[in-house]
Structure 1
Amino acid sequence: MAQSSEYAVVARDIRKSYIARGADRRKNIKSRDITVEALKGVSFAAPSGESIGILGQNGSGKSTLLRLIAGGETPTSGSLLVRSQPVLLGISAALQPTLSGARNVRLGCLAMGMTPEQVDEVYDDIVSLSGLDEDAMARPMQTYSAGMGSRLRFAIATSIDPDILLIDEALSAGDAAFATRAKRRMDHLLSKAHSIFLVSHAAQTIEEMCTRAIWLHKGEIIADGPAESTARHYRLWAWREAKDEYESANKIIEDVKKDYVKPNIVLASDEKNHNGKRH
């Protein structure tokens, strides 16, 4: 049983639905609204100092979950509690593609609440972590490759030691040297009891960067456990899917579902209401 006060992020039976207008080109047939369920009863508790990878195919609800944790969207139903304001890598800094990397470092840090003096203090560390040279920092970001932009965003976002850091696919665009530096930076954050959520299609990235992994499938959590074993099952399932071996792929899904036990989340408000009842 998980007590909400002990955790950085707690989700209980989170559901998220979107309304899409269905198209029908036939005459005299009105289009109708279609409800799309992105998340279906997601529950988990994330302790401080844990790095959690979120695995799943396209459309499984990974990025939707991160946006909910970040506060950019609200759940349709369920309870979602966070200890502090998370930083979502990719939208955390208001970066401008027409400005240079150097200008964007300062702009991004100021947007996250730093003073100009604090920006000066962390500037060299940000550039060092990103691995970009002076020439690259002087160029507009619109000339950067996807990997270069992701590396700089990661370096900016982690410069403030965020209590809860959310990373959506950013690390998959970096090279091996950057992955090593990023891992060191994540270990530093975890040593200070920070919490990290990393979304990636790459099971190996989750395995190397995280201690725990959550597998989302069609909006539901079907596995939640050690990163190594969860990523291994996901990798095997993805390989079977790619080979069109759907029967064996479905068997993997069935097996991991059998092993998954949905957590019983107890919120502080539940205890308060219980204690307030007369017996």
Structure 2
Amino acid sequence: MINYPNDSELLISVDKVSKKFCRNLKRSLLYGIQDICTELTGGNRHGDILRPQEFWALKDVSFQLRRGEALGLVGANGAGKSTLLRIISGLINPDTGTVKVRGKLAPLIALGAGFNPVLTGRENIYANMSILGLSTPEIEKRFDAVVDFAGIADAIDAPVQTYSSGMAARLGFACAVHIEPDVLLIDEVLAVGDINFRVKCYQRLAKLRESGTAFVLVSHNPHVVLNVCENSVYLAKGKLIKSGETEAVIRQYEEDVSLAGTDTALGMMFLPEKPESQSLGIDIVSLCFQDEHGNLLTSPLCGQLAYLSVECKAYKQVDNANLGVSITALSGQNERILYITSASDNEPLKILPGRVEIQMQMPYFCLLPGLYSAKIYIKEGVRSFDIVESFRFMVKAGKITSRSLFYQPRQWQVINHNNSKFKIQTLY
């Protein structure tokens, strides 16, 4: 690590950093011994050359982080995100390139991993925070706040080995955020504890950000990155694919994830027709999105009109069919975003024998840009006719987007003192 002599606003500079690992344990140990001997003798390690069974976990990655900024790291598992955080924190060294860090750094990578299980919570607080750079008087000033934040006052003098994993993680988080660091490295640790503790985590991080702390955040939930980080870096197989404004980086990442799937990513799905002897009465034969003219929409636009078209083959008349649509966000935590049924909208569907198309109009398509999967079924009462478990589709940005969980159509108006209404702008 190299500290900056100048420019107090620039806290981290990563310049053409590469890191390689070996897939074979025995060969990896041999390479490690060879590298140590080479360094002791002042030789050249040739860190830019791969040896047999080695691979690049990171390759020529560069970015900068300034005071008060929040940078997101996105990418699939194995992209190199955690490796990059470990290099920045000093846990491992890069094979090529340089990492320059200014100020106090706190890694929130594996909460509680450095605790001694035999020592009490009190003893571990002093040991952990001293490692993070605080003196004993400074730790004593923060001690009560750390214990209160972690919510473990009743167990503070018990050995950490008696703590649950959640208690240890909360204590690790409390120690890190109370050293008031210049840089926080956060690797998928904001889900520790219950909802009340997570709220406290976000509140504390917001206060640190206001005081000038910079963040590097790794999360597989794009909504978290969008809401926290102005800029992001997208890694894939160790390479920097895109960097810059977070919304553009997230869209690129999600589009790549979508295109890596099956042909359902094209926004249309065809299903083989069943013979009448195998049908339960109504079969779903195709799914797609259309515009108001009936043209195929491969990717609906957020905030604009779209129709979900469900084409069916019916072998009998059904007077009160119910179409259900359950939409899940694939790029986050696979949470269900939207659940709609024609029955809950008091819209019984009358299906006649033959081919029939059921359309659901969505005037503003309120889903934000991202990758989704829809589960679609058709039934009558408790009797199910057919179901499609996963219809994958991509939503792209329209004219108006925001950093929210959904798009909200809205109107603006001003009411003056005479109670006259003046409409300013309508957003659709």
Equivalent in the alignment of 1:225 = 244
Equivalent in the alignment of 2:118 = 98
- 1:215 counterpart (216, 234, 241): 234
How far the C-alpha of 1:187 sits from its partner, in A, is 1.9
Taking a change above 3 Å as real, the CA distance of residues 125 and 234 of structure 1, as seen in their structure-2 partners, is farther
Q: Matched residues in 2 for 1:207 and 1:174: separation?
A: 22
Instruction: For structure 2, list consecutive stretches of 5 or more residues without a partner in the other structure.
Output: 1-5, 27-50, 267-298, 300-369, 371-428
Q: Matched residues in 2 for 1:233 and 1:173: separation?
A: 29
- Please give the secondary structure, in 1, of the residue aligned with 2:93: coil
Equivalent in the alignment of 2:173 = 154
After the TM superposition, list the runs of 4 or more consecutive aligned residues in structure 1 that deviate by more than 6 angstroms: none
Aligned alpha-carbon RMSD (Å): 3.4
Q: Matched residues in 1 for 2:254 and 2:159: separation?
A: 37
Taking a change above 3 Å as real, the CA distance of residues 179 and 212 of structure 1, as seen in their structure-2 partners, is farther
Equivalent in the alignment of 2:423 = none
Q: Matched residues in 2 for 1:79 and 1:113: separation?
A: 23
Taking a change above 3 Å as real, the CA distance of residues 248 and 195 of structure 1, as seen in their structure-2 partners, is same
How far the C-alpha of 1:234 sits from its partner, in A, is 4.4
Counterpart check, 1:245 vs 2:262: yes
Task: Work out whether residues 18 and 61 of structure 2, in 8 Å CA contact, stay in contact via their aligned partners in 1.
Answer: yes
* Structure with the largest fraction of helix: 1
Task: Work out whether residues 14 and 61 of structure 2, in 8 Å CA contact, stay in contact via their aligned partners in 1.
Answer: yes
How far the C-alpha of 1:177 sits from its partner, in A, is 2.0
Counterpart check, 1:108 vs 2:111: no
Q: Which amino acid aligns with 1:128?
A: D
Equivalent in the alignment of 1:73 = 92
Bigger Rg, structure 1 or 2? 2
- Please give the secondary structure, in 1, of the residue aligned with 2:190: helix
Taking a change above 3 Å as real, the CA distance of residues 137 and 75 of structure 1, as seen in their structure-2 partners, is same
Q: Matched residues in 1 for 2:216 and 2:123: separation?
A: 28
Task: Work out whether residues 117 and 161 of structure 2, in 8 Å CA contact, stay in contact via their aligned partners in 1.
Answer: yes
Q: Which amino acid aligns with 2:91?
A: G
Q: What number of residue pairs does the alignment pair up?
A: 239
Counterpart check, 1:33 vs 2:52: yes
- Quick check: 66-75 or 205-214, which moved more? 205-214
How far the C-alpha of 1:77 sits from its partner, in A, is 1.5
Task: Work out whether residues 146 and 173 of structure 1, in 8 Å CA contact, stay in contact via their aligned partners in 2.
Answer: no
Taking a change above 3 Å as real, the CA distance of residues 150 and 133 of structure 1, as seen in their structure-2 partners, is closer
CA deviation profile, 1:239-265 (whole Å, cap 9, x unmatched): 786xx537849x99xxxxxxxxxxxxx
How far the C-alpha of 1:91 sits from its partner, in A, is 6.6
CA deviation profile, 1:86-122 (whole Å, cap 9, x unmatched): 2222579842123332332222123334333322211
Q: Which amino acid aligns with 1:114?
A: L
Task: Work out whether residues 67 and 214 of structure 2, in 8 Å CA contact, stay in contact via their aligned partners in 1.
Answer: yes
Instruction: For structure 1, list consecutive stretches of 5 or more residues without a partner in the other structure.
Output: 24-31, 253-279
TM-score, normalising length: structure 2: 0.49
